[in-house]
Structure 1
Amino acid sequence: MPLFNEKNESCLIEILKLHIPDVEDLLNPAAEEAEINHAESMMNCRFPDDFRQLYMKHNGEGEQVFGVMAGFSWMALQSVTASWRGRQNSGCDIISGKPDAVQEGEYRKGWVPFAEDGGGSFLVMDLEPGVKGSYGQIITLDRNSNISYVISESLGHFFEFIESGFSNGEINAIDEEEVILIHRKQGHLFDDMLALTTMEDEKNSLIPISGFWAEYFEDDHEGGYISAETLSKQRMVFIRPDLARKHGAVSLDILAHMPNLKELIIHADEIANYDVLKQLSGLTKLVIGGQSFKESDLEYLVSLEELRELTLVRLSLRDAHKLRDVKKLKYLSLSKIDSMDCKAIGALVNLTELSLEELEVGDLSYISNLKKLKKLELKKVTIPDLAFLKDLRNLTTFKTDRCVKDESKNTVLGELQKLEEFTYPVGDLTLFKNCTSLREIGVDASRFSGLEEISGCSITGITIFQATSEEHANSVVAEFNKYFNLQSYGWQVNW
């Protein structure tokens, strides 16, 4: 649908007139061309001509109508530029709902927000699409998720979506006395995965269901069948051990009917096979805990092009080198893995977060290869020394629950300028006198010293180790409060 008809009338306005006859009186007056030019100059981009023309008809909604953009408020230019400016350097990490459709990472300068829900979510015109996207496509910016979906290929297609919604009764205009509210029967647009992924042709098909999955979806299936529409809305699946044991072998084949699945958590030994993982190209978070997962199944993870977070628990894995082929993996957690050669972790150079628990970790020197690492947690592992931390200049968080064998190399800690949290039973606090970013620290109540020397830090929280009583722990808190305004503290109970 073009944005304007042959009479140069806004197609959006003509759609709205059929349901709100006086809608033009409820919208803001036209924006001046100078206002549009100023917005473009500030955002360093050129709006598409029909987008400019749309604002030269009306500068967004007025105060007497809300939701003309399928339940989202059409923003005035002043709000557009303010929201765009507020998103720059916001630290967001956008993930494309469909591979390569939306550019990933930080907020792009070519993303023009034009509609909002009033709670921090936006519809955005994308002038910097991914390699498989379209210039001018409409994408989501969701306050509850960093996943961005393509709603439509263009603003014109989005207006068709609005027209269709009014025609089939999905979108209604409700007169609330002082304001006309445009409402979607299905609720918030971003909760409707079917609409976001344009799967209308498949929504009425039925999928047979039984056993484990019949109980998992007990409120959503009828007569042994579940609709593809229901499955398409699943963003997270959690396979619990008790339910899996009850039904025996669990097939994962039904997951192939969940194109919007982003998070999969499996804590069960009864999984029949894992080959369906090859089809879950949009999966971003995966947790596997169960003896049915074998080392050869790591091959399936390579197909997960969007996988960012991986947690493996209670598995028998020796060689994990295949994980280096999971190109977008940022977070890895390994717990209670039998016989694993941890040196393979050193090849995962794109990791930013790593957690190891109850493993034979060796000398940990391989971790020094992970130059992008920001967060490291070591629980119930033997740590020879901390020399491996020296080259981790981006490290902000280090957590462990026990002392290293040789503390003579702890002097490397003073070189970690970005360190914000160091949870470890520290004795010599002077090691951190140059770590001015430090906010939280662990302290050994039996031997700490040098508190005054780190008074230049901004410590707000402490974790106390080796206290002999609650009174002893509270005395440590009192000592720290002489130099810092503690907002949080806690201790390990050893008495």
Structure 2
Amino acid sequence: MIQTIINEIQQQFSQHFEPFLNPPATVQKIEEVEQKMGITFPDDVKTLYLTHDGENDEGPGLFFGLSFLSLESMLAEWKNCFELSDDEELQQIESYSVPEGAIKEQYLNRYWIPIAHDHGGNFLGIDLEPDSNGIYGQLINFGRDETVKHVIAYNITDFITFIAQTLKNGAYTIDEETFWSYGYREEAHFFDELKNMELPVFQVEASNQQQVIGEEWFEQLSDKWKEIIQSLSEHPKQLVKSKILYLMGKQIFDITPLTVCTDVRELVLSGNHITDIRPLQSLLALKKLYLGGNPITDIVPLSRLNKLQYLNLSRTQVKDIRALESLINLKELSIEHTQINNYRPLKDVKLNKLSVSILNFEQLVSISDISHLKELHIHLLEGVAEADLMLLAKLNKLEALTIEKFIFNDLDFLTQNQKLKNLTFIDSSIRDASSIKKMTALTHLECNYTPVENIEVIAESTSLKSFTGSFNQFYKLKKLMSQDVDFSEIVGEMTTEEENIWSSSFND
């Protein structure tokens, strides 16, 4: 079947392009690539490569402008992706599956097999390790720019058929006979067009929610919401398909229209005038929610959002956070500059990152009991004695700590945090920094508008790899450090002479 469809596609292409598909691959070559990847191709993928082994360098991109990879190129691209799939920082990049639960929400996965690319680090791939609601062999997008990953088709046969039909019905654009793309926009990237398509191809099942988004619904909205929706998309029905919505500082009071956005994964509502968040109860797919800077008091409606991973409640009027106890997937929380007095409900929430203000000893005790914390940012530290900070030693998984606005006699309280890698002080002062040399895991230190009386002792650290501070701090430490340290960031202004000294140090 695939060979027949490919022949139809070639016949259509012959009107615009010279032949560009490579000769067939051999069974032996396919088996060799499978063995090196540790996978087995779906039958229709094997058939595709037994028909043509990718396209040549002059090809227009068989897959709507995306170049069909030969087995050799596939293997090379897969190796690069496989090496990057173990990079912890890359895997922290947010990823969203469409539909929900179909694709593993990762930056990369070794079982995503690239069959086409855009020459810019983005791929059309075969998913051989789908999530619980996915299908083995489904066709997906992934790569450097692909935060939102779609199930484009359930298999390669469906997608090839879709290409053939698109060529027949004329829903494509050819640019100067060297490039072609889906739709009617010249040089449109196929992955950018996905958000406007009914996916997976040939499996269109519009949800009830999508069907109700029409002119009548739109006309019932306030003028403010009409203006907002028109600024976000060409058609109101695109609102319900949105996976990421940025609505920061839009002068919004009522968020009722958002009840239709049941598939949104990241929602930014910071800096509005919202008091009632009950409409958010229906957004069960939400992973990231920004509510900072709104006059919100009641967060009980959030207790149903058990897929929520990031929540920002900073600068709100929230006082009670017991509703957060039910958020079993919450990993990051920002609650600085709020009216919350009792942090004890956070003890059993498996937070990795927390931004908070500490105004009394009881709050410090509660924070020290959050055993899973890896990153802690204390925006305001008041109402505690310096000796009380020894409680932070209980956070034995802590890797990054930022403290603002505090006067330190010494840093002895940190010597028990053996995993601490990144340490930042902002608008503070330190009399004695001698304990820095005892922090053997510390690789980055930042003194942001924070004077250190005996700055020279920092040079005794053998683990430090980067330092950020004032020009004077840099100038003193640069001469004393026994190992290479990155001083590429300076806090505050420099004179022309100072800037010349600093920049010339990179050439030493």
- Please tell me whether the aligned partners of residues 370 and 395 of structure 2 are also in contact (alpha carbons under 8 angstroms): yes
For residues 263 and 276 of structure 1, do their structure 2 counterparts lie closer, same or farther at Cα, with a shift above 3 Å needed? same
Aligned pairs (5 A) from 1:107-126: 107-126=108-127
Partner of 1:422: 424
Unmatched 5+ stretches in structure 2:
495-508
Task: Using the TM superposition, name which of 139-148 and 116-125 deviates more.
Answer: 139-148
What residue is the counterpart of 1:26 in the other structure? 20
Distance 1:158 1:369, change over 3 A: farther
Q: 1:113-262 to 2 correspondence within 5 Å?
A: 113-176=114-177, 179-182=178-181, 184-186=183-185, 187-192=188-193, 193-195=195-197, 197=199, 201=206, 202=210, 205-206=214-215, 207-208=217-218, 209-218=221-230, 227-229=236-238, 232-233=241-242, 235-240=244-249, 243-244=251-252, 249-257=253-261, 259-260=263-264, 262=266
Q: Which has the higher helix share?
A: 2
Shift of 1:37: 1.7
- Aligned letter for 1:362? E
Contact 2:355/2:377 (<8 A) preserved: yes
CA distance in structure 2 between the partners assigned to 1:70 and 1:77 by the alignment: 19
Q: How does 1:333-348 map to 2 (within 5 A)?
A: 333-348=334-349
Q: Is the 8 A contact 2:411 2:436 kept in 1?
A: no
How far did 1:389 drift?
3.4
Percent identity between matched residues is 22
Letter in 2 for 1:185: Y
Q: 1:221 to 1:137 in 2, by over 3 A?
A: closer
1:334 to partner: Cα distance: 0.7
AA aligned opposite 1:117:
D
Aligned match of 1:330 = 331
Q: Is the 8 A contact 2:239 2:261 kept in 1?
A: no
Task: Determine the C-alpha separation between the residues in 1 that align with 2:39 and 2:473.
Answer: 56
Conserved 8 A contact 1:115-1:124 = yes
1:375 aligns with 2:381: no
Which residue of structure 2 aligns with residue 59 of structure 1?
53
With normalisation by structure 1, the TM-score equals 0.82
Q: Give a deviation string over 1:253-277, Cα, whole Å, max 9, x none.
A: 2451463452232422345x32221
- CA distance in 2 between partners of 1:361 and 1:148 (Å): 45
Residues 453-491 of structure 1: CA deviation (Å, up to 9, x unaligned)? 21x23432323xxxxxxxxx5332211111245111215
| 2:479 is aligned with 1:479 | no
The structure-2 alpha-carbon separation of the partners of 1:276 and 1:142, relative to structure 1 and needing over 3 Å to count, comes to farther
- Please say if residues 81 and 110 of structure 2, whose CA atoms lie closer than 8 Å, have aligned partners that are also in contact: no
Decide whether aligned partners of structure 1 residues 86 and 386 sit closer, same or farther in structure 2, where only a CA change above 3 A counts.
farther
Are 2:420 and 2:439, in contact at CA under 8 Å, matched by a contact in 1? no
Equivalent-residue separation in structure 2 for 1:324 and 1:147 (angstroms):
29
Other-structure match for 1:395: 398
C-alpha distance in structure 2 between counterparts of 1:15 and 1:381, whole Å: 67
Q: Any conservation in 2 of the 1:126–1:138 contact (CA below 8 Å)? A: yes
1:447 Cα offset (Å): 3.7
Flag the 1:171–1:258 CA change in 2: closer, same or farther, 3 A.
farther
Q: Whole-Å Cα distance in 2 between the matches of residues 46 and 334 of structure 1?
A: 48
Distance of 1:491 and 1:404 partners within structure 2: 20
Q: CA deviation at 1:423?
A: 3.1
Contact 1:102 1:129 (8 Å CA) reproduced:
yes
Post-superposition offset of 1:142: 4.1
How far residue 164 of structure 1 moved from its aligned partner, in angstroms, is 3.9
Displacement of 1:47 in angstroms is: 0.8
SS in 1 for 2:39: coil
Give the whole-Å Cα distance in 1 for the aligned partners of 2:292 and 2:240: 23
The alpha-carbon deviation at position 312 of structure 1 amounts to: 0.4
Separation of aligned partners in 2, 1:394 and 1:268 = 36
* Deviation of 1:128 (Å): 1.0
Q: State the Cα distance separating 1:144 from its structure 2 match.
A: 2.7
Matching residue of 2:355: 355
CA contact (8 A) 2:96 2:265 kept: no
Question: Is the alpha carbon distance of 1:285 and 1:408 closer, same or farther for their aligned partners in structure 2, counting shifts above 3 Å?
Answer: closer
Compare 98-107 and 127-136 and name the one that shifted more.
98-107
- Aligned partner of 2:286 in structure 1 is 283
Query: 1:337 touches 1:359 (CA, 8 Å); kept in 2?
Result: no
CA contact (8 A) 2:314 2:337 kept: yes
Q: Provide, for residues 148-182 of structure 1, a one-character-per-residue CA deviation record: whole Å limited to 9, x for no partner.
A: 22222222222233234334433234454xx4544
Provide the secondary structure at the position in 2 that maps to 1:362. helix
Does the Cα contact within 8 Å between 1:138 and 1:153 map onto a contact in 2? yes
Q: Deviations over 1:363-397 (max 9, x none)?
A: 52333444443321111222544334334444332
1:358 deviates by: 6.7
In the alignment, which residue of structure 1 is the partner of 2:501? Answer: none
Question: Pairwise mapping of residues 302-321 of structure 1 onto structure 2 (< 5 A)?
Answer: 302-321=303-322
Out of 196-205 and 106-115, give the one that drifted further: 196-205
Q: Does 1:431 align with 2:428?
A: no
Distance 1:340 1:196 in 2: 48
For the residues of structure 2 that align with 1:13 and 1:282, how far apart are their CA atoms? 42
TM-score normalised by the chain length of structure 2 = 0.80
Aligned length: 462
What CA deviation, in whole Å up to 9, does each residue of 1:17-69 have, x standing for no partner? Answer: 22336979311222232322222112111111221121122111211213211
Structure 1 counterpart SS, 2:9: helix
Per-residue Cα deviation, 1:302-357 (whole angstroms, up to 9, x for no partner): 333442211003333333132132222221111222143112222221x2221114
Of 63, 88, 113 in structure 2, the residue corresponding to residue 69 of structure 1 is 63
CA distance in 2, matches of 1:16, 1:389: 67
Judging changes above 3 Å, is the alpha-carbon distance between structure 1 residues 154 and 476 closer, same or farther for their aligned structure 2 residues?
Answer: same
2:453 aligned partner, one-letter code: S
* Distance verdict in 2 for CA 1:220–1:90, change over 3 Å: closer
Alignment of 1:90 onto 2:106:
no
Amino acid at match of 1:132: N
Residue by residue, what CA displacement relative to the aligned partner does 1:190-221 show, whole Å, maximum 9, x if unpaired? Answer: 32313264578558833323232123235579
Matched letter for residue 296 of structure 2: F
Matched, 1:267 2:268: no
**C-alpha distance in structure 2 between counterparts of 1:388 and 1:84, whole Å:** 47
Alpha-carbon distance in structure 1 between the residues aligned to 2:346 and 2:166? 50
CA distance in 2, matches of 1:18, 1:408: 72
